[in-house]
Chains A and B, each alone.
Chain A
Amino acid sequence: MADQPTASERFIQGILPENPVFRQLLGLCPALAVTANMKSAVTMTGAVLFVLFCANVITSLIRDLLKPHLRIVVFTLTIATFVTIADRFLAAYLYQMSKTLGPYIPLIIVNCIIICRCEVCASKQSVFVAGADAIGQSIGFGLAVSAIAAVREILGTGNFFDIPVLPAAWPDWVVMILPPGAFLTFGLLIGLVNWFETVKASSQASEVLTPAESEGS
């Protein structure tokens, strides 16, 4: 297992270097569909965290019993169970929010982030690593959907978490809370992340070229 990343590496990777939405381009359905305002984005992140954490832990616990050709069935069964629990829980305690999110909570079942983490990490590594991985990936997902939701809610309604932040004279850019706004914001943010990565890579490359300086610093 020497070549497998440790728990802290898994945790850090999920947040930015392997951000599920911006770097792996997974889980785009909720990232586009429930990011019209911050409250839905945060609730969705909570649901994803719960499902991903439980699915990763269970998968990791039974990883030695898994038959390779039946593993997808087991993953799906596990994920569907916890998604149903999350859905019922929201309907019981956050009824209005559950109505707003509508079908997107049950759709977490087919969210590729979760099955990807079960496959890549939880089915191969210990419970502790799988748990850390789930939390890191969920934070990464949360950051990504919150970033999209913040842009869309502020430009589209002038509010942030339903609190007005722009002057009342702001002409609400309705298109931002409609589907095109999701695609525009998402595209621009991916561009920003890629530009940031390029700048970082080229500054690292220049450091390699001048080893004396980097040793000195």
Chain B
Amino acid sequence: MTAQGKANFFSQAWLVLVLAICFGGLLAGMQILLGPIIETNKINETLERVPVLVFGAAHATELSQSGMEINPLSVGVEKAGKSVRYNVYETKSDGKLAGWVTKSAGQGYADKIEVLIGFDPRMEKITGLFVLDQKETPGLGNKILEDGWRGQFLDKSTAKPLMPVKGKATASNEIDAITGATISSKAVTDIINTAVADLREPLADKAKGK
């Protein structure tokens, strides 16, 4: 390229370059300002749910004022030659282990479903379920968000895998599937079953160890 050609290039493009630098600076500034707030939002969303999933909505608010501790842990599980890591929140009330909350995810009907599951200290029953992220069909699959449906999982024993059934659930390990959203119902149940299978022993052992 000749010298004149180069000069021509800059005379053509200087505005784009100047604007790109200005806007880049502006965005970097915004990120410095807002980045920490966004990060806290993400962490809070999970942490706020943890006490509710262990103690139930009624007790959680009283307890949050008294001595309650939440310790995030990472628990590794070996299965089929692969190692899977779970984010587990150990919840303590007045220094005593009160329960576990684990984050888990699986494929739903439309996209990944991410849930938080609460367990009692010995991993014998489910104490709560919360859906963090889902993109299921509005009006059908997204009923997995509703309290009524999620409430079915409360106090379910972890001894037998849970089964979604069409119609009316009768056995203790059965869950009413949502009408028109069998796949979403099954996806949530599968996520819970997998988490139970992977975590029951390691977490129950930890609880005994204390």
Contact = CB atoms under 8 A, between A and B. Distances in A.
Contacts of B20: 77
Interface stretch (A21-29, A43-51, A61-69, A134-142): A61-69
A205 interface: no
Nearest to B41: A95
A70 B30 contact: no
A66 B13 CA distance: 10
B155 interface: no
Interface residues of B, number: 24
B38 interface: yes
A85 B30 contact: yes
Interface residues of A, number: 27
Interface string A74-105: 10011001001100110111010001001000
Interface in B7-56: 12-13, 15-16, 19-20, 23, 26-27, 30-31, 34-35, 37-38, 41-42, 45
Contact of B15 (A62, A84, A178): A62
Given A36-B138, A178-B137, A178-B138, A74 B16 contact: yes
B41 A91 contact: yes
A172 interface: yes
A105 B111 CA distance: 19
Nearest to A93: B37
A175 B175 CA distance: 26
B38 A78 contact: no
Given A81-B27, A85-B27, A172-B139, A92 B19 contact: no
A209 interface: no
Q: Report which residue of B26, B137, B138 has the largest number of chain A beta carbons within 10 angstroms of its beta carbon.
A: B138
A88 B15 contact: no
Contact of B38 (A36, A92, A172): A92
A70 B139 contact: no
Nearest to B14: A65
Contacts of B15: 62, 65-67, 70, 74
Contacts of B77: none
Which interface residue of B20, B41, B42, B45 has the most chain A CB atoms within 10 A?
A: B41
A70 B34 contact: no
Nearest to B13: A70
A121 B124 CA distance: 67
A77 B23 CA distance: 8
A2 interface: no
A78 B34 contact: no
Q: Which of B16, B38, B137 has most A Cβ within 10 Å? A: B38
B205 interface: no
B30 A91 contact: no
Nearest to B15: A65
Contact of B133 (A85, A93, A99): A99
B149 to A, nearest CB: 16
Nearest to B19: A77
A81 B26 CA distance: 8
Contact of A70 (B12, B138, B140): B12
A163 interface: no
Contacts of A99: 133
Contact of B19 (A67, A74, A102): A74
A191 B18 CA distance: 46
B40 to A, nearest CB: 9
A7 B87 CA distance: 56
B30 A88 contact: yes
B23 A78 contact: yes
Nearest to B12: A67
Nearest to A62: B15
A91 B23 CA distance: 20
Given A95-B42, A157-B139, 14 more contacts: A36-B138, A62-B19, A70-B12, A74-B15, A78-B23, A81-B23, A84-B27, A85-B27, A88-B31, A88-B35, A91-B34, A91-B41, A177-B138, A178-B138
